[in-house]
Amino acid sequence: MSRARDSVRPTVSLVTSSDVDADELLALYRELGWHSHARPDRVAGVLANSDILAAAFDRDGRLVAFARVLTDHVLYAMVHDVMVAPRFQRRGLGSELVRVLLAELTSIRRVSLTCDPGVVPFYERLEFEPSTRSMDRYQEE
């Protein structure tokens, strides 16, 4: 892809699982170094079983930004996998991904996410607050 094409800022929208090419999602996970996500069986599950998906595509129709939500549609929602391809970062796409998802979650009591400490400022700008209340349990691989 040429730099001229990269200069066009894609638009984020809600999508369905059939709008997202599993191989392109796999490639985005890999590009961002999320290797535990980047397995074909997992990508298939992510697309089939998430409740809300948002994405942006470049002018060639390739996936360049993606995020998803798991929710009971009443009390809880978890935002996962907020990702922008490096060549499109720091141009507002990540913020737009989260805002598009939050617009679907206005009646949900608690919207949560986990993130690396370095990304905290990004989410604070979107009115998330750090929490000490969450705990995780991982399955060994």
Ligand X SMILES: CC(C)(COP(=O)(O)OP(=O)(O)OC[C@H]1O[C@@H](n2cnc3c(N)ncnc32)[C@H](O)[C@@H]1OP(=O)(O)O)[C@@H](O)C(=O)NCCC(=O)NCCS
Tell me the closest approach of the beta carbon of residue 33 to ligand X, in angstroms. 8
Least distance in Å: CB of 123 to ligand X? 8
Query: Under rule CB under 6 A, which residues in 88-107 are in contact with ligand X?
Result: 89-95
Q: What's the start-to-end Cα distance of the chain, in Å?
A: 36
Site for ligand X contains 121 (CB under 6 A):
yes
CB contact at 8 A, 118 and 61: no
Does the protein bind ligand X through residue 115 (CB under 6 A)? Answer: yes
d(CA 133, CA 126): 20
Beta strand 13-15 pairing with 76-84: unpaired
Binding interface with ligand X (CB under 6 A)? 32, 82-84, 89-95, 113, 115, 118-119, 121-122, 125
